[in-house]
Structure 1
């Protein structure tokens, strides 16, 4: 990556890109291997996961709900098949959908009149597969899309993405999967997941550069056959239409080869008279055409990109592959479970006092109302999901402190870096649970058990200072 930046600085962007073209192409192979794609044409560059998600969602929005009958077919999409998602259409998501994705779904719903349905949770917080099946049965052909955030950003939950894929295939429904927090910590196999498209970023558990991501599009899916909502010179080839001229009862077709057509002067050899050439000129001026890239995912790329970051993404993918994703997943799950256990074991309590409900309605200020007191843990882990299926994201709160205060204290006092997951990042879930922002700690395979214990001790001390000053 640094080498590419230096070459750009001293030789120019075009020259640097040309010099490293082989390396650029190798990134596709690494990404295809990373997610178990069938071929390199099924993976493509994206500026980030959100833009990839928006690109795919809005493409099928303007292309076709009517196409759902051919979701798993291989026939090309034709203009006659196109129909806007309308008032009768249904989009399905979950309460743990990422905020940006949820916003995009709301936008499509508002623009088209399509209804947005949310799958209920099980008691553990994971989505209910039974309820998803009920929705698919109830809504039938009106279901245009199922959108799933595999690993929500605000905790350790891992949704049953493969089981959702099996249901989508059974009911012939388009399936869009956000794998931002999954790629790099979970062994991702798109064949097993049966998703039609997957989007992710470079910078999270894959540990690549910021401002870079990629997408997977399954060959034969509607995403692979629909015309992308945006096209440029990287994904569409401009050409002149094939002109026709009549000679008596016979029509001769004059083919014009090449992306920009063939000069009219070159047609003299075909035996055209000056009058014929004039007619051809007029026909060529009627309407130019373009051909889209036939590769499933590459048709969603654009011409301009950060090639240094792209090469960095490739290096990150190869590094993860060299360690082995099954090994990484096992290690991350172990450390995540260890961190949750050590945080839950922090034995600092605070007293919660509330007035009895049966006395709270007494209006007189002179009547002494009894109080009910209980003790709660000063540190509370807020992760959803069954323990044995949780991942390396660990979210928690500390009584008496905001998530930002905890983050800043960990950084400034203990040199430990965490982030804050705001309530808007998983808007519906956080509102359903009555949560504001939460502290998010993410362990990875390179962390040690000693570091996990040190982190828990830092949090214990912060909680002690906040609740027993």
Structure 2
């Protein structure tokens, strides 16, 4: 990893210290150029015609995505974002009255809203798996609840939006495979900062987005669908003419791969940008990214822990490139404004994004800081100075 080259290819590094990669990372120049070039081609040649001309390049998405998740290209679908990926997978499950969904205290807020919507429509039951003392899902309680409830689905968020907790997703997969329980994993915060190996994790569906640690464009997402789920015939509730072929008046035949979860209309420029983001990541290497991020986060946590009015709020035996902390001497809006005035991009997470977690921690909001491999130790030191002046 040549950090200077990477920073030279990241124009936003010249503008500010960007510690909001859990929200939307800075795109490297090859990603932005790929999007602009495709839009220019559409301007000159037309949308349909450009898609035809660029078909081979666009189809690289499935190969790059398969490499990201250690699977086959047939298991990969392109979507508009992580929530669409998640909801399309959720819509494929034929819920019935009384079905149980096992959930965790740290599921993504949009996912919780989807659960509540399903509960209102189908009268399903939501059963929460307990946490360990360190914050992760309790594997013993998970297995006990699977045996007790025979749930239709287990939903887990790999890394919540509100903290740096990392769930033991591979260990969870060992249990779900033992009982043949459907397993839906939200990996929107882990893709691009941690290795996410679908074959090791054993989830039936994995949803993700490009705007975060993958350093791709907004409006682009990815969905993994396992061979098991494909062979079982799972398909989105509203499958369209891209995902299926209409063969008779009252009959259609779905595609035999994960693209049955795609829509015919998609943002091809964003798909091309996603290709560039995946290629960029593969050239650097996820192992190198993980190692670099660990160095940055060890320094950040260590330095912040020495500030007496700052309280770190992350739990978990394993933590990642998201750090949250609270401080009592400023309001949420004042804090956001303060960091912005100091040319540092952070994010604040309100209680509404993590109701259960924040009720347990007795918090109304936290500061969320999320560096990535292109950030520097000097930027962390500057950030610490700014925090000390709070």
What is the TM-score with the length of structure 1 in the denominator?
Answer: 0.74
2:201 to 193, 196, 217: 193
Deviation at 1:206, TM superposition (A): 0.4
Q: What residue in structure 2 maps to residue 415 of structure 1? A: 343
Could you report, residue by residue, the CA deviation over 1:177-213 in whole angstroms, capped at 9, with x for unpaired residues? 0000000000111001011110000000001000110
Q: Superposition pairs for residues 150-229 of structure 1, below 5 Å?
A: 150-221=158-229, 225-229=233-237
For the pair shown, the structure with the greater C-alpha radius of gyration is: 1
Q: What residue in structure 1 maps to residue 260 of structure 2? A: 299
Q: What residue in structure 1 maps to residue 278 of structure 2? A: 317
Gapped regions of structure 2 (runs ≥ 5): 1-34
Q: What residue in structure 2 maps to residue 404 of structure 1? A: 333
Tell me if 1:308 matches 2:269. Answer: yes
What is the DSSP-based 3-state SS (H/G/I as helix, E as strand, rest coil) of the residue aligned with 1:221?
helix
Moved segments of 4+, more than 6 Å: none
Q: What residue in structure 1 maps to residue 37 of structure 2? A: 3
2:88 to 41, 55, 59: 55
Q: What residue in structure 1 maps to residue 111 of structure 2? A: 101
Q: What residue in structure 2 maps to residue 380 of structure 1? A: 311
2:135 to 119, 125, 132: 125
Deviation at 1:48, TM superposition (A): 0.8
Q: What residue in structure 2 maps to residue 44 of structure 1? A: 77
Tell me if 1:147 matches 2:78. Answer: no
Deviation at 1:132, TM superposition (A): 0.8
Deviation at 1:168, TM superposition (A): 0.4
Contact in 2 for aligned 1:419/1:441 (Cα 8 Å): yes
2:294 to 333, 344, 356: 333
Q: What residue in structure 1 maps to residue 66 of structure 2? A: 32
Q: Distance in 1 between matches of 2:81 and 2:299?
A: 31
Q: Distance in 2 between matches of 1:403 and 1:43?
A: 39
Q: Distance in 2 between matches of 1:157 and 1:318?
A: 28
Q: Distance in 1 between matches of 2:312 and 2:332?
A: 12
Distance 1:223 1:159, change over 3 A: farther
Deviation at 1:223, TM superposition (A): 8.0
* Count of residues in Structure 1 that have an aligned counterpart in Structure 2: 356
Deviation at 1:428, TM superposition (A): 1.6
Q: What residue in structure 2 maps to residue 424 of structure 1? A: 352
What is the DSSP-based 3-state SS (H/G/I as helix, E as strand, rest coil) of the residue aligned with 2:389?
helix
Q: What residue in structure 2 maps to residue 245 of structure 1? A: none
Tell me if 1:437 matches 2:365. Answer: yes
Deviation at 1:102, TM superposition (A): 0.8
Could you report, residue by residue, the CA deviation over 1:398-451 in whole angstroms, capped at 9, with x for unpaired residues? 212123321221111x21101122222222212222211211110111111121
Distance 1:119 1:288, change over 3 A: closer
Deviation at 1:156, TM superposition (A): 1.0
Contact in 2 for aligned 1:328/1:445 (Cα 8 Å): yes
Q: Distance in 1 between matches of 2:333 and 2:296?
A: 24
Deviation at 1:106, TM superposition (A): 1.6
Contact in 1 for aligned 2:211/2:220 (Cα 8 Å): yes
Q: Distance in 2 between matches of 1:407 and 1:158?
A: 26
Could you report, residue by residue, the CA deviation over 1:232-290 in whole angstroms, capped at 9, with x for unpaired residues? 111111223xxxxxxxxxxxxxxxxxxxxxxxxxxxxxxxxxxxxxxxxxxxxxx3422
Q: Distance in 2 between matches of 1:334 and 1:125?
A: 23
1:289 to 233, 239, 251: 251
Structure showing greater relative contact order (alpha-carbon pairs closer than 8 Å, 6 or more residues apart): 2
Q: What residue in structure 2 maps to residue 115 of structure 1? A: 125
Q: Distance in 2 between matches of 1:223 and 1:205?
A: 31
What is the TM-score with the length of structure 2 in the denominator?
Answer: 0.88
Gapped regions of structure 1 (runs ≥ 5): 64-83, 241-286, 348-377, 463-469
1:22 to 43, 56, 68: 56
Q: Distance in 2 between matches of 1:227 and 1:148?
A: 20
